[in-house]
Amino acid sequence: MENQVETIVIGAGCAGLTAALQAHEIGKKVMILEKMPRIGGNSMRASSGMNATETDLQLKNGIIDSSEKFYNETFQAGGKMNDPQLLQYFTTHTNGAIEWLKQYDVDLGDLTTLGGMSLARTHRPTDTSPVGAYLVKKLAAAVENAGIEIRTDCKVTNLQQNATGFQLTVIQNEKQLHLECRKVILATGGFGASKELIKQYAPQYADFKTTNQEGATGDGLRLAQSLGAQLIQLNLVQIHPTVQQDNQHTYLIGETVRGEGAILVNNAGKRFVNELDTRKKVSNAIIAQPTGHAYLILDQKVFQRVKALGFYQSVGLVEQADTLAELASQINLDQQHLRETVTEWNAAVKKQNDAQFGRHTGMRTLDTAPFYAIHVAPAVHYTMGGIHIDKETHVLDENGNVIPGLFAAGEVAGGLHGNNRVGGNSIAETIVFGRQAGIQSSKD
Ligand code: SIN
């Protein structure tokens, strides 16, 4: 197949870009197809970081972590519904992923802690900027340097298998074309932007807004299913607890804002949950408040630890005041309650004992003006279910047999996260399993 594309990757988020680069490194001729006008997918919106264990950065910060601990915490957070083999592969390959990224000038030199983890495991850019856009930019530059062709505005409408590989029908700039290759990697993302599929599989969230980019409509699921793939756990849909949604656009307020010290209060100005419990628990706690929404409260110290906060402020999502009393009156909370809540929280941080809600990570006193508030409520964020794969990213059919030549990686695949994905595991998954798809698809 000289001069012909050996592998076609469908989807140009972090999983697709990684898979293509990895296969190219091994010497395969690869092409990437992306249905949207721009690359990046939902990866572009990932904010907080990339989880990894046993890394140099953790050790330099005195953090003694282990893949077993990572496994156990992720399994617990996922309601023990995670596929053990995928999880085992994942939790033992994140350090390798961090090392692999370094060759592409990726500098994840800062650490934070997200919900459901006992220590700082979330690696993020040294300047604390959002991880997703940063990684997409670096990976896209590497793809370009490698001479890998990316076609945008190119939607795969049909995928057929024949004796030598696959035939793809694509619509590119309104023209129908046919492409051929030996291997296909599906990296098309989840279905969090499809109202129809959310209504079908998680009707309880049918009226929720979404954090997803509009292309996340489950196309890869349909393509895989047309070749006999098994789809699993489609009813497991994650809502993200802190989404600003007062206007037409929804803005995900990254979990790292809480990881760096913000608290959540209800309309009475009181805390009501361990803010760094799992997303499932924090979202449910917000929904259980009489108003169904909450406020993130933070101070200047937290603000300086999360670059995205400057962006949230620039688009009008953040209330700011010189005192807590002023902040409370700006957002119509009881001044005394908010002051008492923050005083109690600061005392708990100093004692390192949150007797009320048992929070033990991301503890930082809120005592440095100005103070800030962001109004948040849960929104659809991530689809944990998807195409059934094995740990080599082969797509499996209804009987558990490998569909030869067909691979899937990233949010389009199901099973890794159980019933609740841990923040920071999605970006890690795109790199770990994107690489794995690139490697396994390169076997003859
Ligand atoms: C966040 O930073 O809270 C979103 C990214 C993720 O879902 O891991």
The encoded tokens of residue 45 equal 């919106």
Rg (CA), the chain: 22
Tens digits of residue pLDDT in 231-289: 999 999 999 999 999 998 999 999 999 999 999 999 999 999 999 999 999 999 999 99
pTM above 0.85, yes or no: yes
Identified catalytic residue from 279, 305, 364, 421:
279
pLDDT at 180 over 50: yes
Rounded to whole angstroms, the Cα distance separating 62 from 45 reads 30
The encoded tokens of residue 420 equal 């609740």
Q: What is the mean pLDDT of residues 63-69?
A: 98
Within 6 Å (CB) of ligand 1, which residues are found? 46-48, 252, 254-256, 423-424, 426
pLDDT at 2 over 80: no
DSSP, collapsed to helix, strand or coil, labels residue 33 as strand
The encoded tokens of residue 332 equal 């119509």
User: Which residue's CA is the nearest one to ligand 1's atom 1?
Assistant: 254
> Comparing C-alpha atoms, which of 165, 163, 168 is closest to residue 219?
168
Q: Which atom of ligand 1 is nearest to the CA of 253?
A: 3
The encoded tokens of residue 288 equal 């259980």
Tens digits of residue pLDDT in 14-39: 999 999 999 999 999 999 999 999 99
Average pLDDT along the chain: 97
Tens digits of residue pLDDT in 96-121: 999 999 999 999 999 999 999 999 99
Q: How far is the CA of 128 from the centre of ligand 1 (A)?
A: 14
Tens digits of residue pLDDT in 329-355: 999 999 999 999 999 999 999 999 999
Q: What is the mean pLDDT of residues 85-101?
A: 98
pLDDT at 1 over 90: no
Tens digits of residue pLDDT in 38-57: 999 999 999 999 999 999 99
Q: For residue 269, give Cα distances in angstroms to 242, 245, 376.
A: 17, 20, 14
The 10 Å CB-count burial string (b at 16+, else e) for 341-366 is: bbeebbebbeeeebeebebebbbbbb
Rounded to whole angstroms, the Cα distance separating 267 from 264 reads 10
Q: Counting Cβ atoms within 10 Å, is residue 210 exposed (0-12), middle (13-18) or buried (19+)? A: buried
Looking at residue 295, its pLDDT comes to 98
Looking at residue 173, its pLDDT comes to 87
Work out the percent of the chain whose per-residue pLDDT is above 90.
98
Rounded to whole angstroms, the Cα distance separating 253 from 247 reads 14
Rounded to whole angstroms, the Cα distance separating 181 from 120 reads 42
DSSP, collapsed to helix, strand or coil, labels residue 233 as coil
Q: Which atom of ligand 1 is nearest to the CA of 381?
A: 7
pLDDT at 306 over 50: yes
Q: Counting Cβ atoms within 10 Å, is residue 176 exposed (0-12), middle (13-18) or buried (19+)? A: exposed
User: Contact 9/31 with Cβ under 8 angstroms?
Assistant: yes
Instruction: Note if 279 is an active site residue.
Output: yes
The encoded tokens of residue 13 equal 């988020």
Looking at residue 288, its pLDDT comes to 98
pLDDT at 206 over 70: yes
User: Which residue's CA is the nearest one to ligand 1's atom 7?
Assistant: 423
